[in-house]
Amino acid sequence: MGRPIGKCHICGKECELTYEHIPPKKAYNHKPTKMYIGKEYFKDLEKRDIKDTSKLRYTDFQKGVGDYTLCERCNSTTGKWYAGEYIKISNAIYDYLGHHLEELKDAKSVELDFKDVYPLKFFKQIIAMFLSIIPNEYLENHKELRKYVLDRDSVEFSNKKYRISLGLLKQDFEGWSGINHLLMCNGKIKLISFLVVAPFYFVLEFNPEEIVFDNLLDITSIGHQYNYNDRIALNIKSNLFLESEVFPINLFYHK
Ligand SMILES: [Zn+2]
């Protein structure tokens, strides 16, 4: 079977698509994984416990979670430019949380210090992952996000148009949504995309207005404050989330 043909989520060109691991394969995303579609996950809840997934239909990802979303070129350039730094930070946090499970059992937050990281590379990998999970039709109206990822050195990331926040997960759990519409308590509608890739829980808000999810850490400023080769000491102070505490998303993955 040949590779599917479609529009690359990053450059927008029609071409043969390659399999993009979300998160990168080396960020502990190489294991066979089951995928449940949201609607299946919430089926027959009166008859079964939500945690009992034994009778649900699922798709098997033999080589880790991901999708055919990128052309060969975008897959390899983003891999080369951004993925390595993301993997380094992600795995360090994953290992830290894994080794301190008992200590952090009742903790609501955690503070981590990194001595020497490339913040813009890490940030752009997050945006590249969001581009892969957001439907192409929607991305046509957000070409600046594509340009931002395609140009390694661009720092044109508008905090008026986008906000990126993160939380950390206590459990190994993955999933994402395309675009969600949330009706906020002030009557406004907020457009949002969720990306859960353990140990991170990322939220991308479109046209963020006055409402901030104050339980998440806003990292938007990284996107325009640093250059590609800037190295800094990074402090991440974030709340810790359980599976039941992340927003409803359309897909759930269980390892
Ligand atoms: Zn491409």
Give pLDDT tens digits for 8-51: 999 999 999 999 999 999 998 887 776 665 556 556 667 777 66
pTM of the model: 0.89
Q: How many Å lie between the centroid of ligand 1 and the Cα of residue 52?
A: 39
pLDDT computed for residue 255 by the predictor: 35
Chain center to CA of 136? 17
Q: What's the pLDDT at 128?
A: 98
pLDDT of residue 250: 38
Return the SS3 of 130: helix
The position carrying tokens 């192409």 is: 136
Q: DSSP label at 49?
A: -
pLDDT for the residue 41: 59
CA of 22 to the centre of ligand 1 (A): 16
Q: Can you give the pLDDT at residue 31? A: 75
For residue 207, the CA-to-ligand 1 centroid distance in Å is 25
Span from the CA of 43 to the centroid of ligand 1 (angstroms)? 37
**8 Cα to the center of ligand 1, angstroms:** 5
| Cis check: omega of the bond before 119, within 30 degrees of 0 | no
Q: What is the pLDDT of residues 101-123, one digit of tens each?
A: 999 999 999 999 999 999 999 99
CA of 152 to the centre of ligand 1 (A): 14
Cα of 20 vs centre of ligand 1, distance in Å, is: 11
Ligand 1 center–CA 189 separation, angstroms: 31
- DSSP for 162-205, written as a single string: EEEEEEEESS--EEE-S-EEEE-TTS-EEEEEEEEETTEEEEEE
Alpha-carbon distances of 177 from 22, 119, 180, 232, 253, rounded to whole Å: 13, 25, 7, 31, 12
Q: Which parts of the chain have pLDDT scores under 70?
A: 1, 34-45, 50-53, 56-59, 210-212, 247-255
Cβ-proximal residues to 119 (8 Å cutoff; 6+ apart), any chain: 222, 225, 226, 230, 232, 234
Q: How far is the CA of 18 from the centre of ligand 1 (A)?
A: 10
DSSP 26: T
Ligand 1 centroid to residue 13 C-alpha, Å: 6
Q: Indicate the domain borders of the chain.
A: 5-254
CA of 74 to the centre of ligand 1 (A): 4
CA within 13 Å, CB half, 133: 30
CA 102 to ligand 1 center in whole angstroms: 43
Tokens 């983003």 identify what position?
A: 78
Separation of CA 16 and ligand 1 centre (Å): 10
- Ligand 1 center to residue 30 CA distance, Å? 23
Question: b/e map of 139-167 (b: 16 or more CB within 10 Å)?
Answer: beebeebbebbbebebbebeeeebbbbbb
